[in-house]
Amino acid sequence: MGFLDALLGKSKLPKPKVDRLFAISTAYITLEVNLGLKPDQSAGICFKPMESSRYTAARLEIEELLHYSCRETQTEYKIKKDEYNYLWVVLKDKDFEDLVTNIHLVSQTMIEHGFGEQLLCAIYRFTGEGAVYWIYNFKQGTYYPFIPKSGHKRDNSMEFRLRSIIEKELPIEKEVEKWYPLWGIPI
């Protein structure tokens, strides 16, 4: 960031990090064996929508790529808006590797079209005694667990337990303040 940007209060957003996205494709085995958490055949990627012809072209390309990729892998997908007006690509597949690959495909396409800053997170749903979400923050290049409970509460003790078991295999966000809750996840 230059002096003039700092003076005017402008700052550059960090570039999205997709290199660590694939870490979950091996860590899920540890989650299943050690904790009984099984992939729930659901994943999603969330990004901020924009109004522009370039964005529309990128969205069309994503839909086209998903159409071909999902037909080959037999992955189901939907594109939805949530209550906060964020856009979600929601994926369903029995093969966890296909979910990870399609999440990467969408994120890479957004970056190639210059919309990397719009990427917010990727989410993988697991089930055990309840729903457990592993959230990948594109800005930080790290994962963190999110276990929602009723009444907009979360199971912090279980989230910390998950962190301690999996932190050697997944790049876990060290600053707990950045473990943002995502209420109303559409997957």
Domain ranges of the chain: 15-171
Superfamily of domain 15-171: Ribosomal protein S10 (3.30.70.600)
Q: How far apart are CA 17 and CA 68, in angstroms?
A: 25
Mean pLDDT of 156-184: 94
- pLDDT recorded at residue 9: 53
| Range 65-98 burial, b when 16+ CB lie within 10 A, else e | ebeebbeebebebeeeeeeeebbbbbbbbeebeb
131: number of Cβ within 10 Å = 17
Indicate if the pLDDT at residue 10 is higher than 70: no
Q: Is the pLDDT assigned to residue 176 strictly greater than 80?
A: yes
What pLDDT is stored for residue 67 in this prediction?
81
Q: Which residues pair with 148 in a beta bridge?
A: 154
The number of residues making up the chain comes to: 187
Q: Per-residue pLDDT averaged across 51-60, rounded?
A: 72
**So what's the pLDDT on residue 4?**
43
Distance CA 29, CA 35 (A): 10
The helix/strand/coil state of 75 is coil
Task: Tell me the sheet residues that pair with 125.
Answer: 42, 133
CA-wise closest residue to 37 among 121, 182, 149, 159 = 159
pLDDT at res. 6: 47
Q: Give which of 101, 29, 52, 50 is closest to 72, Cα–Cα.
A: 101
